[in-house]
Amino acid sequence: MRVVGQNDEKRARGVWRRRGPLGRVRVALVVLALAALAPGCGRGGTPPASGERPLNAPPARALDSYATKLRATQAARAAAAKRWGLKKVPLPAPPPPRKKPHIGTREGFEVKGHRSLGLPPVFTTVPTKKKIVFLTIDDGAEKDPKFLRMMSELRIPYSAFLSDYVIEDDYAYFERMQDRGVTLNNHTLHHRYLPALSYARQKREICGMQEVIEKRYGTRPVLFRPPFGNYNKDTLRAAKSCGIKYVPLWNEEVFVDRWEYREWDRELRPGDIVLTHFRGTDHWDGTMRDMVRRFLDKVTAEGYAVARLEDYL
């Protein structure tokens, strides 16, 4: 009977680095199986004394069940990608970090007294080396049930930033969205250009939307995005007073027919926040599903997965 040795471990480590998530599970199962075949090894690889009962083999059934579930999940994802017309199967996001990255205000996006007043950070990218991006969707004007189904079947996370004046005709649509694990965030009551308003009026716009979301959906947001990405010191002061902790903007914007970029080189970066809008054929030459296809085809082709923004804050 074969004994697992140092060479096996080195080979396994080499294979582990070259494999994707599903492949790594298979490698882990092989290593554990080899360990189980070792002739009665106890702790540290020392054979048990005569008459001593050997350690139990690894829980092969549990491991096999886990691997089976992963394969089924990947197969379902591949089938969904084909069904929704994607060029490739979207990459699965890595597990959320145990230690959250420090989020600071992007250079050039500060207001006077930003740090001394403890105002919420304004940022366009989350600090990470992982090849992930975050999809965020603003306002809530378009309410396409097929979009909800598409995102659920593909298992693509996204964050919604809602304005009351466009969601009030169908609050239930966003309740269904929330039931699918989407966080509903603040985009003000009426989508005004906030720097033109007084502090009191800005506070009404932001705190009023906090109250709408809390009343309708049972949560009080900690993320806020100012309409058009425009803000001033009063905006951030008002947001803080309403319970806002983060002000994520964006580094790219995706439409049904194109991408737009904040950076000069027009390239995605790890941790970039991508903006789009709830829009349909009334505003675009296509649907939200068409926009999602454009978005996913690009990020997948460039080796990026889509992660959930709230998991990194």
Same domain, yes or no, for 112 and 31?
no
Write down the pLDDT at residue 49.
Answer: 45
> pTM to 2 decimals?
0.80
Expressed as residue numbers, the domain containing 163 is: 90-312
Interaxial angle between packed helices 6-18 and 21-37, expressed in degrees from 0 to 180 and rounded to the nearest 10: 170
Interaxial angle between packed helices 145-154 and 171-179, expressed in degrees from 0 to 180 and rounded to the nearest 10: 10
Return the closest-CA partner of residue 260 out of 250, 248, 249. Answer: 250
pLDDT digit string (tens) for 158-168?
A: 999 999 999 99
Same domain, yes or no, for 217 and 265?
yes
Q: How far apart are the first and last CA of the chain?
A: 51
pLDDT digit string (tens) for 37-53?
A: 444 444 444 444 444 44
Same domain, yes or no, for 175 and 69?
no
Q: What is the CATH number of the domain that holds 248?
A: 3.20.20.370
Return the closest-CA partner of residue 293 out of 143, 75, 147, 77. Answer: 147
Same domain, yes or no, for 289 and 199?
yes
> Is 168 domain-assigned?
yes
Number of neighbouring beta carbons within 10 Å of residue 304? 22
Q: What percent of the chain has pLDDT over 70?
A: 81
- 62 — pLDDT class (breaks 50, 70, 90): confident
> Is 217 domain-assigned?
yes
